[in-house]
Chains A and B, each alone.
Chain A
Amino acid sequence: GEDVEQSLFLSVREGDSSVINCTYTDSSSTYLYWYKQEPGAGLQLLTYIFSNMDMKQDQRLTVLLNKKDKHLSLRIADTQTGDSAIYFCAAQPNTGNQFYFGTGTSLTVIP
């Protein structure tokens, strides 16, 4: 199956940009997703990118996809304390119907 990996922790100062990285092994996924999980809550879809795109921008969020290196990143501009949460990347390879999630990156924003 797919192996999706993320670093566990990231700490940034309020107002700075955050970059959360993700690597995956199966390049057949049509879409790649980013989810946000706040404490005590479920996962909320943040954004996604189609596999034939290199970049997608959505307000403060920028997703970059490097298919050659199987690397996905999420950049949050002007990071706010409300952005503190766990961020998950996810993929659904064409080889099956399962979604695969990374371990999640816990983002802490320091005021």
Chain B
Amino acid sequence: NAGVTQTPKFQVLKTGQSMTLQCAQDMNHEYMSWYRQDPGMGLRLIHYSVGAGITDQGEVPNGYNVSRSTTEDFPLRLLSAAPSQTSVYFCASSYRQRDQPQHFGDGTRLSIL
């Protein structure tokens, strides 16, 4: 089973560049989310989606866009990369939007120079 797949695993960008982090799940999960992980700060929610066509902001949404055109895919777009967005990004999904554990991808390590 593939589970939650994130690509790329590593990326280096220059300030001002844009890019899309891909996330796909093959478990027919309704709920998908993006987190960033920074030292000493745990995981902070960027955006989440409770189903295809529905997205909402999390704790730290500024500088990021998402869309959910299919159940399987939930890409995260950085519009104009800034050094403060250097982080490890995790995508997660769960079967329903409530009372279900989240399954995580292996992460994308992003550096902005």
Residues of chain A whose beta carbon lies under 8 Å from any beta carbon of chain B = 1, 4, 8, 30-31, 33, 35, 40-45, 48, 88, 90, 92, 94, 97-104
Contacts and interface: CB of A to CB of B under 8 A. Distances in A.
Interface of B: 4, 31, 33, 35, 40-43, 45, 48, 50, 56, 58-59, 90, 92, 97-99, 101-107
A44 B50 contact: no
A103 B45 contact: no
A40 B10 CA distance: 11
Nearest to B94: A99
Contacts, number: 57
Nearest to A4: B42
Given A30-B99, A33-B101, A97-B97, A42 B48 contact: no
B23 to A, nearest CB: 11
A8 B42 CA distance: 10
Nearest to B31: A97
A7 to B, nearest CB: 12
Nearest to B57: A98
